[in-house]
Structure formats: C-alpha cells, structure tokens
A and B are shown apart, each in its own frame.
Chain A
C-alpha cells in the first residue's frame, strides 16, 4: 500500500514580463508517492524547476491546489510556508547555497536548530550524517568556500535531511559538479532513498535520471510522459538505461 505524499490539482504557474503572460505550468495533475525517487525531466524551459519549487512551497502557484502530506499549501502565507518547509521539506540546489559566513557544521545546525531544540542530540545526528556522506571531522569547521563542489553538495544534502523531511527536493544537484563528484553525490541520494526518504529531483542528466524509480517528462508545462523504472540497482544498469533511452526518444529528448 503506497501513500500519496504530494498531489496537485490543476496547478498553474504564470510568469509575465512587460505584461506578456507566459504559462509555464498548465493545469498539472500530479501525484507523487511516498518513498519514491521521482525524477522530473524535460528540455530547458519546460518548467521543471518551476514545478519543483511550486510543489515544495518555495514559490506559490498562480492557480491550482497542492496537497502536501494532507495539507493544502497553495494558500499559506509566506511565514506559514516557511514553517511548513522547515518541517516537511529539504532542499538541495545546483548552486548549493551554503551560508558562506558559517562553518560546515553551523550550516547544518542552522537548519536543524529550527526544528529540533535538543542541541546535543542534533549535533550528534548532524555529525553522524556528515560522516555518512563522507565529510570527515577535520572539515566540520571549514567554511563552505574551502570545500570542493562535491563536498559542499554533500554538506548541502545533510543540511537538507537533518530535519528528516517528508520530501527531499533537489534542483539539478549535480549540475555544477564534475562526473566523479556527481557520482558520490548521487550515491548519497540513492542511499538516502533506500532508507525510505522520498526524493523529487530535477535534472537533465541521464546518469542522474537513472537513479530514480519514476521519471516524469515535462514539455511546455504539461506532463507528457510518466515512466516507472523500478528501484535502482547497479546490476540492472544497462537494462534501465535502455528503457530510459527509449522513453526519452519517444518524448523527443
């Protein structure tokens, strides 16, 4: 029995520039299942990131409703959204956006302390997670600028999951990384997902997309393809790759 964690109804997002409207998301009805590693793909400008931010409460849809873990979030105000985010969402960005005036550990704690008031427990959890993603103790007091891109992104992931969010959102997490760093980052995602963490990840990189078990393809603000890949396992890599290729070429990738 799977639970739906996010369900959108006629979700629209319109931007305007100089008065000209541009409907980036058009009447989307999407459901995301709990525990899934959902990948959102699409050509650039198709509205992938917009969709990600709209359903995660980072942005407000212009029309439509979002049911997130049983809560209607499209009508919440900014502060309610902030509180909602800190309890339910974790974010990983392409540009990483670690707070550059704080150390690695402080970055994680700045997020954790918002929810968990038990500092000692939190610190030990943070350290544990950091070690899990391969950030060793001697890096904990470094500043983000002193880290490599891959390390920084892994810290970013720890920061995102420190509060055990219902869903982890990632926007092109490997977009700014070289292939070896992105491999280590992706492994972290896979591991986290195996532990039951729901993930929604936007990418246009096939290698990243392979990690997901469901691919949504977005074109012109409409979902036009939905592929169930099944859970990631390295043994079936070639098989999955072929399946994904076929799907993408059908979609006109």
Chain B
C-alpha cells in the first residue's frame, strides 16, 4: 500500500511526463490492437461470412448446352459433400457496366431472386422498401467502391444492348461479390428475370452447380477432380464453357488485398510500438535519474531496492494500463473506419466483434514491454548504494574522463563545450540516436508507401500484373491482325503496339488464363519475379498460383492444351498477378501457334504519346471501325479495377502519415525538452558564469545537431535500402511475391532534411525558454 502511495505521488509529481507517456502508450496500444484485430479476424472473417451466408464452397457454371446430369451425380457422390444444388441462371460472358468512375468489363451471372435456394440465398444489406418492375440486386462492393446508392439506375451493356435497372438492394456474398474473381453475381426478382431471359439468346442460358462440403479446404481438390473427371474441350469459341470457382481460391484472392493492407498496418503499428518503446525507455531512465536524490532518501529510510523498483514499475504500469485501455477503447472507435476499408476491398460487411482475447493480448504486450523496459532502466537502482544515489550517482570508483580538455584542445569555445556535453551525455545521446533512427525509418517507410500508393501508382498497379498500355483493341476474327497492327503503328501519337491476348488454356489439366504476345521484352510490366518470360516457341511462364497448383517449377515441362492440340512446354519463369484469380501463364506467339497454327491474335495493346485515350479511340473507330469488335480505355479500366484497392490503401496511408507526422513532432519536442530540462542546472551555472542566452542556445543546438543528423541519416539510409525488402518479406505471406516500390530519392532527402530542420527549430524554440529564467532561478529550481 505504501508502494502504491509512492507510485501515485510520483505520477502526480511528473504530470507532463506522465501525460506524454500516456499518449505514446495509447497510440502504441491503439495501433497494435487494430493490427492484431484485423489480422486475426480477417482469416475467420471470410470463413464466418461463408458460414453465415450459407454460400457454396464450390460453384460450377456452364451454359445449358454443356450441362449434363452426370455432373450433379458426381458432386453428390463425392466424398464428404454435405449438400448440392443445381439452378438455372442467366450468364453474360462479357458485360459492361459503370463501376466507380469508369467502365468495367466482367462476366455476370444473374440469379432469379424469386426462386428459393439453400446455398447463397439472397441476403440484402440494404434494400428499397418499394419494389419496381426493373429492380436489381447487386453486390455490396458496388456501394463501397462502385459509387452506387440505393435507387440509382444501373445499366448493363451486353451484346450491344443496354439493360436498365433500378438498384433495389445490395446483396452480400462471398463467392462472386467483387470484380477480381472474373464473375459477379447479380439477382433479379422473378418478373424482370423472366423478362431478361426472354430477351436473351440461348447462349446466355446457363446452369450453376453448387456444393457445400464438410471441409472447405477440400474445395480446390473437388474442383480439380471434377475437371479431371469431365475434361472439357476448351475451344476458342465462346459458345460452350464451364467455369468453376472454389471457395479457397476466392478466399485467397479476396483476402489477399485485405491482408496486404492489414500487414502494412501491422508493420506500421509494430514500428510505432517500437519507437514508443524506445521513447518510453528514454522517459523512464530519465525519470529515474531525475529522482535519484529521492531514491537515495528512500534507501536511507530503509526501503529495499525491490520496494523502490516496484514503486517505479507500478508507476509505469498504472500509466501503461490506463493508456492501453484507453487506446483499445479508442481502437473500437477507429475500427468502423478500418472495417469500411475492408468492406471496400471484399464487398462484405465488417462486423466488429468485441474480441476480449485480442484486447487482453494487446494490453499484455504493451504493459509487459513497458515493464521490461522499466525493469531494464530501474535495474541499476538495485546496485546503487544510498550514498551514491544521494550524491547523484557518483560512485566509489570513477573512471570518468575529461574529454577534450579545454587547456589542450583546439577549436572554438562553443564548439568544444558542445562536444564536451555531447560526450558527457553519451548514453542519452545514444538513446536519441536510436529514437531518431527509428523515427526516420518510420517516416521513410510511410512516405514510400504514400508515394507509391497515392502519388505514383505504377509500382502498386504493376503488382496486380496488368500491362500499363493505354488502349485495348479487340480485333475482329476475320481481320488480319498483323496488318492492322502495322497500320495502327503508323498512326499519330502511337508509341508502340503489341499483340497481347488473354486466352484460356489448360496447363497440366488446370484452366489457366494465358497471355500471348510476340516478345515479352516489348511489354512494360515484367510480372516474372523468378526466371524469365518465354522467348521461344517451346517455353512458358506460369504464375506462382499455378506453380503451386500443378507443382511444377522452372526447368520442369508442362502440358498445355488449347483447342484440340496438346504440347509440352518448358517453364522458364514464375510470375505474379493478383487479377484473374492469380492463375496466369504466358506463351509467345510462336508458342501458341504450335497448338493452333493459324492463331494470329485478336487483342492489340496500344501505347500512346501526347493524346487522350478517348480521342484516340474516336479516331481509331472512325478509321478502322470495321476491324474492331471493341476498344477499351485501359487506364480507366485499371483505375476501376484497382481503384478500390488504391482508395482503401490511400485511406490507410493518410492515417499512417498523419500519425507519423504527429509522433515525429511529439517525440522531437519531448526528447529535446527533456534533454534541455535535464541540463537546466548546467545551463544555469553557465549563465551565472556569464554565457549569454544566445550563446547557450547555439550551444544546445550544436550539441543536438550531430546526433540528430546522424540518426536521421542512418534512419534514412535504412529506410532507403530496407523498405522494399521489409515490405516484400511481410507481404510474401499475403501472397505478394514481387514488390518493387519506387523509392523516390528526392522525396526521402526532402523528408530527412525536413526532420533535421524540424528538430533544429524545435530545439531552438524549446531552448528559448532559457531566456526567461534567471541564472539564479535555473540553479535553485
């Protein structure tokens, strides 16, 4: 009880120090808790949603013509299947609609909301109370990242016709709720469904087979077995198709981006927690040193070291406990924002549950770290004899040296005094150095993230595996693609043109989206992170997802099936892509011609100079309208595809940057102020000797600058070299194998210089206080 009194008395005494410590611990706990909650809940979040929405674990869609009753039987007899269901749906192979600020091209399947079903029933998050004749229910991601609201009109462009609907509700689904799976799920009430079915041709009539399994993780295997059992002839024509999705795959794609965001958040939280810990250590050892005389007096009274240390620890535990609790409470206030980001990323409603375990873990981690740090600092109290403490730490045997004796050293007086004080406070300076390094690293880290995600998105977008051309042209099959390519090349403002097809092939029995182009060297985004892209006709590169699925690596050969032909190819590289379920392969034009000798390619990627994409498209249509099936503004498409990621990550980045700036300023102020207050007596004496305020101020600044500059320099260099490796290492668990963020040197330099300047200004501002205090006041205080 006596110890509690001591601790409380200490807290009251050092109010401002306690408050600043409180804030640091609060921020640390806040970030840690958010990070932990996101990372622990994101995994089960998706699974829980699947459970909650009774979504199927495997969905197989096909046109009605391809449907066979055996399929259903196969599913029903497959081991450990709990339930299967078959339903008629409408499927639009390539539909266009507005999404966000741009137009999106995607496959759509449409369910009849009037039918009842066990798997994936209609679950509306929001809906209109009135019903109309042309109501439609679309996934929630249209609201979170597609800029739609209830009651808005929604137009689907399919087969050169527009179908207009009114959004009557947003549905929640795990399976086909976002635009990165390749298929999106809509629902229509019975009347408009029938109306639409009537309008469309037979090709759009489709069936969907759904299955729920005992063990979700087996879903991939089931789909593989299905495709093995019923090998499809994937001919280039789009009349017949079978499309399978399994929940594991969808989950990995869907949670990927969320994981990236969460990992970044956790990494940042970890850095801030670390910085806070260093600052806490700094504060704790300072407060112990300041209270040395008190400790001596207590020891003289007969307090044991244990009692004194425990009062110190208790003091900090009290602060840490209250601050981390406040931080955690605050994190619940902030979670809806994070939840919004998550919803934007996977189109599912984030329900924040109160996770007591995580909260306790966060509190424990923070409090324990504080205790350990305090223990480390307070440990020396144990060994100190009371006399030594009363004398302010002067020991029986001292080996202190007088560095740079004034009688011998050459150099300006102020410079020498500054150096002397720098060396005399070596321990504290080491601390400041550490803090500055950590701080600068954190700043550079968040700056790099911000720069790459908010300012220059290239590296971030490249991560998704899309090719940064400007205009996409779908050439009519009957046109001569190569001739057309040459003609476009002649057009004004065209930098270059590549054939860049995306077809589906089967690689070792696995359906894979396959890029085809003449020379991969001509492309701008090299998605291969290991090995190289194919250059010869018998070479292929596959994405790591495929590599994992078929268990093949560089140097192995794979069997590629396209149309009726099958041929073996040598894997020369492993690539990475986030779109198209991450299942990507790449063949050369020569390579695809091994399978289909008259393959000529049908997609052109045009790279433009000094012209707006829309204008170019207009020109193109005017000149070569006959040859073109369709054109696409790629920039816009990328924008709409990655828009939801960038928007989400941008929000996080803004938060990160804000916190960083706040913390930087706070720490600088705190550290410099502490240091100056600590040496107040010394300054008072110097003032009494006859040093002027200006002289003292410049001396303070000089003695700070080397340490701060060194810290900033080291932190900057670390940030420059280790941000990418660190992010790669972190994100590789989230599925990003290749990360090459632009480290914009000038930005970093400016950042570092501004930290130094900021520190200098803060030190000047703080040291100005000396002016108002008389020498006497400084000494006696």
- List A residues at the B interface (Cβ < 8 Å): 13-19, 53, 58-60, 62, 78-79, 82-87, 89, 91, 93, 95, 97-102, 106, 110-111, 113-115, 159, 163
Contacts and interface: CB of A to CB of B under 8 A. Distances in A.
A168 B304 CA distance: 19
Contact of B304 (A14, A79, A89): A79
Interface of B is mostly: helix
B306 A111 contact: no
Contact of A101 (B13, B304, B397): B13
Contact of A16 (B10, B385, B398): B398
Contacts of A159: 301
A159 B297 CA distance: 11
Contact of A106 (B5, B300, B383): B5
A13 B387 CA distance: 13
A33 B518 CA distance: 107
Given A18-B398, A111-B302, A78 B297 contact: no
Nearest to B397: A16
A58 B297 contact: no
B386 A99 contact: no
A106 B10 CA distance: 13
Contacts of A85: 299-302, 386
B386 to A, nearest CB: 5
Contacts of A113: 2
Interface string B394-410: 00111111000000000
B5 to A, nearest CB: 7
Nearest to B11: A101
Contacts of A115: 302
Contacts of B396: 13-16, 59, 62
A163 B302 CA distance: 11
Given A15-B396, A16-B396, A99-B9, A82 B297 contact: no
B296 interface: yes
B303 interface: yes
A148 to B, nearest CB: 15
Contact of A91 (B294, B300, B397): B300
10 contacts: A15-B398, A17-B399, A53-B387, A78-B304, A78-B383, A82-B303, A86-B302, A97-B390, A99-B294, A100-B13
A15 B394 CA distance: 11
Interface string B292-314: 01101111111111100000000
A15 B398 CA distance: 8
Closest 6 CB pairs of A and B: A86-B302, A101-B13, A97-B297, A101-B9, A85-B302, A59-B387
B300 A58 contact: yes
A110 B399 contact: no
A114 B302 contact: yes
B321 to A, nearest CB: 21
Interface of B: 2, 5-6, 9-10, 12-13, 293-294, 296-306, 382-383, 385-388, 390, 396-401
A110 B6 contact: yes
A59 B385 contact: yes
A49 to B, nearest CB: 9
Contacts of B305: 78-79, 82
Contacts of B400: 17-18
Contact of B399 (A14, A18, A60, A91): A18
A110 B2 contact: yes
A114 B301 contact: yes
Contacts of A82: 299, 302-305
Contacts of A106: 5, 9
Contacts of A98: 297
B9 A102 contact: yes
A102 B298 CA distance: 12
Given A59-B388, A84-B302, 6 more contacts: A18-B401, A58-B385, A59-B386, A78-B382, A97-B294, A106-B5
Contacts of A60: 385
Contacts of A95: 293, 390
A101 B297 contact: no
A138 B679 CA distance: 36
Contacts of A91: 300-301
Contacts of A87: 302
Contacts of B383: 78
The interface centre, meaning the residue of A13, A78, A95 with most chain B CB atoms within 10 A of its CB, is: A78
B308 to A, nearest CB: 9
Contacts of B386: 53, 58-59, 85
A79 B310 CA distance: 14
A17 B10 CA distance: 34
A102 B401 CA distance: 37
Contacts of A93: 297, 300, 390
A195 to B, nearest CB: 21
Contacts of A163: 302
Contacts of B293: 95, 97
Given A58-B386, A79-B304, A82-B302, A101 B2 contact: no
A113 B307 CA distance: 13
Contacts of B9: 99, 101-102, 106
B296 A97 contact: yes
A89 B300 CA distance: 9
A11 to B, nearest CB: 14
A58 B399 CA distance: 22
A140 B730 CA distance: 60
A86 B398 contact: no
Contact of A110 (B301, B304, B387): B301
Given A78-B385, A85-B300, A86-B301, A19 B399 contact: yes
Contacts of B385: 58-60, 78
B222 to A, nearest CB: 68
A53 B305 CA distance: 18
Nearest to B308: A82
Contacts of B12: 101
A209 to B, nearest CB: 23
A86 B303 contact: yes
Contacts of A97: 293-294, 296-297, 300, 390
